[in-house]
Amino acid sequence: MADGAAPVADSAPALRPLARAPLYEAIAERLLSHVVQSDLRVGDRLPGERELARRLGVSRTTVRQAIVALQTQGIVEVRHGGGTFLRELDPSSGPLAKVVDRRNRLPAVLEARRALEIPIAALAAERRTPDDLRAIEDGLALMRRQVEAGEIGLEGDGAFHEAVTRAAHNPILADLMDRLRESVAETRGESLSQQGRPPRSLADHEAIADAITAGDAAAAADAMRAHLDHVADLRLFEIYPEAGTAEEEDAR
CA distance 85 to 88: 9
Taking the C-alpha atoms of residue 226 and residue 205, their distance in angstroms, rounded to an integer, is 10
Q: Could you read off the pLDDT of 120-138 as tens digits, one per residue?
A: 999 999 999 999 999 999 9
Q: CATH homologous superfamily for 103-251? A: GntR ligand-binding domain-like (1.20.120.530)
> CATH topology of 13-86 equal to that of 103-251?
no
pLDDT, tens only, 49-94: 888 887 666 788 988 998 998 888 888 999 988 899 998 777 666 6
pLDDT given at position 10: 52
Annotated domain spans of the chain: 13-86, 103-251
What burial class does residue 179 get, using C-beta atoms within 10 Å of its C-beta: 0-12 exposed, 13-18 middle, 19+ buried? exposed
Topology of the domain covering 13-86: Arc Repressor Mutant, subunit A (1.10.10)
Q: Give the tens place of pLDDT for each residue, 134-145.
A: 999 999 999 999
For residues 34 and 48, give the distance between their C-alpha atoms in angstroms, rounded to a whole number: 13
Residue 150 near residue 10, CB atoms below 8 Å: yes
pLDDT in tens, 150-207: 777 889 999 999 999 999 999 999 999 999 998 898 788 778 867 788 899 999 999 9
Which amino acid makes up residue 185?
Answer: A
- Percent of the chain surpassing pLDDT 90: 45
Torsion-angle region of 22 (φ positive above 0: left; ψ -120 to 50: alpha; else: beta): beta
pLDDT in the model for residue 91:
65
